[in-house]
Amino acid sequence: MGSPFIYEEPVGPTELIDREHEAERLLDRLLDGRNTRLEAPRRYGKTSLLLKVQQDCRDDGLVSVYVNFLGVLTAGDIAERIERAYREQLDSPLRRWFTGLVRTLRPTLKAGGPLPVGAEVAVTPGEGGLLDRLSVPRRLMEKHGKRSAIVFDEFQDVLRAGDQVDAVIRSELERHRDAAAYVFSGSHPGMMRELFGTRRRAFYSQAGLVALGPLGAADLAEEIGRRFAAHRRDVGDALGPLLDLAAGHPQRAMLLAHHLFQRTRTGRAADSDAWGAALGDAVRDVDGEVQATWQALTATERRLLAAIAGGTAGLASREARVRYGLAKTGAHRGALERLEGEGQIVRAQTVTGWQVVDPLFALWLRSGREWPVWD
């Protein structure tokens, strides 16, 4: 029987645990025409939440479009993503209207397409096409009197599409006050801060913050228990250790619950054997990712992560120096900032003042950079 725990892709609105409060806030802001930035570590459920909010917006009569910027390299790529989102997500008759409209817009210049004649002399030929596609909500309001709620997911990647692209985007969006409201979502805290928190950038202070924290233990316990029961299983005594290890990390909680479910037979309760086997399965799942993350770190970053995951002494302490080889002074400030910017660590009420975001990576770090053995 298929497991009721999805952990490899965004979940649908009916499978979303908790987040009612955040969904309501996002919807209210969109209905009020206010822009929002949604920030959370990787795999905290941003996209899943945004898909729910998109549905809520539609239920409230807004036109809602979700665009994912992951991997864009140019203004033309962004234009292409936006165009495709409208093409795929508008309901007819708006879809028919858009099909006609798009033929009147300047080209997107996506990679591989032909450059228009004379494009070599233009400074940024892709920007015209981008501006035209960004203007669609304004045209939709003029033509059909409909307001839009637009989600730009993985928005930090605009920074990779050229230094001025955020300014180009803002120049059009600031004309949308009555036509559309936006959610900008991103999983790279450093780049989101660069976009929305630096004075010289076009989006400085342009969007109120909604942040996603870990999921509550009570919500997770209830939902995991319910899904086991719905498939004639009992999560049993394994629930406690699962909640402790996942520490509210949404994707890690679902990953662990999935493997525990697979190791629990119909009509039975999950016991310590099942939990041990599930941990082994989970570790096999994430090992490649953990190794790749580790390989990409500098020596100072590794030492900091080990000390933070260890959590037994402050980063400037003698113990941190002896046990993890950390330099005494502020020599590691830059590395700390990088780790935080990359979303590897977040501030927390711990002895180091930090916490490793991924609890499975933290377990591996804590166990001497190898996996514990469960039998």
Residues forming the site for ligand ATP (CB under 6 A): 6-11, 15-19, 40, 42-48, 187, 215, 250-251, 254
Kindly provide the residue ranges of all beta strands, DSSP E only, lying in the chain, ordered along the sequence.
Answer: 36-39, 63-68, 148-153, 180-186, 208-211, 345-347, 354-356
CA count, 13 A, side-chain hemisphere, 365: 26
For 43, the token pair is 């795999």
Q: Residue 294, class by beta-carbon neighbours within 10 Å (0-12 exposed, 13-18 middle, 19+ buried)?
A: middle
Pairing of strands 148-153, 180-186: parallel
Residue with Cβ nearer ligand ATP (38 or 65): 38
Which run of H or E residues covers position 59? Answer: helix 46-59
CB of 173 within 8 A of CB of 134? yes
Residue 40 interacting entry, from ligand ATP, Mg ion, none, C-beta within 5 to 8 Å by type: ligand ATP
* Long-range CB pairs of 112-119, under 8 A, 24+ apart, other chains included: 113/76
Residue with Cβ nearer ligand ATP (29 or 258): 258
Residue 185 Cβ vs Mg ion, minimum distance, rounded to whole Å:
7
Residue 252 Cβ vs ligand ATP, minimum distance, rounded to whole Å:
8
Residue 46 Cβ vs Mg ion, minimum distance, rounded to whole Å:
5
Residue 91 interacting entry, from ligand ATP, Mg ion, none, C-beta within 5 to 8 Å by type: none
Which of positions 18-47 make contact with Mg ion (CB under 5 A)? 46-47
Helices (H) and strands (E) in the chain, counts: 16, 7
Residue with Cβ nearer Mg ion (85 or 313): 85
Residue with Cβ nearer ligand ATP (109 or 254): 254
Residue 251 Cβ vs ligand ATP, minimum distance, rounded to whole Å:
3
Residue 159 Cβ vs ligand ATP, minimum distance, rounded to whole Å:
16
Which residue's Cβ lies closest to ligand ATP? 45
Residue with Cβ nearer Mg ion (47 or 54): 47
Residue 303 interacting entry, from ligand ATP, Mg ion, none, C-beta within 5 to 8 Å by type: none
Residue 234 Cβ vs Mg ion, minimum distance, rounded to whole Å:
32
Residue 48 interacting entry, from Mg ion, ligand ATP, none, C-beta within 5 to 8 Å by type: ligand ATP
Per DSSP, what are the bridge partners of residue 356?
A: 345
Residue with Cβ nearer ligand ATP (224 or 307): 224
CA dihedral (127, 132, 137, 141) positive or negative: positive
Residue with Cβ nearer Mg ion (179 or 192): 192
- Ramachandran category for residue 99: left, alpha or beta (phi over 0 → left; psi -120 to 50 → alpha): alpha
Residue with Cβ nearer ligand ATP (69 or 203): 69
Q: Distance (Å, rounded) from C-alpha 266 to C-alpha 234? A: 9
Which of positions 42-71 make contact with Mg ion (CB under 5 A)? 46-47
Residue 220 Cβ vs ligand ATP, minimum distance, rounded to whole Å:
9
Residue 189 Cβ vs ligand ATP, minimum distance, rounded to whole Å:
11
Residue 17 interacting entry, from ligand ATP, Mg ion, none, C-beta within 5 to 8 Å by type: ligand ATP
Strand order in the sheet with 36-39: 63-68, 148-153, 180-186, 36-39, 208-211
**Chain positions contacting Mg ion, by CB under 5 A:** 46-47
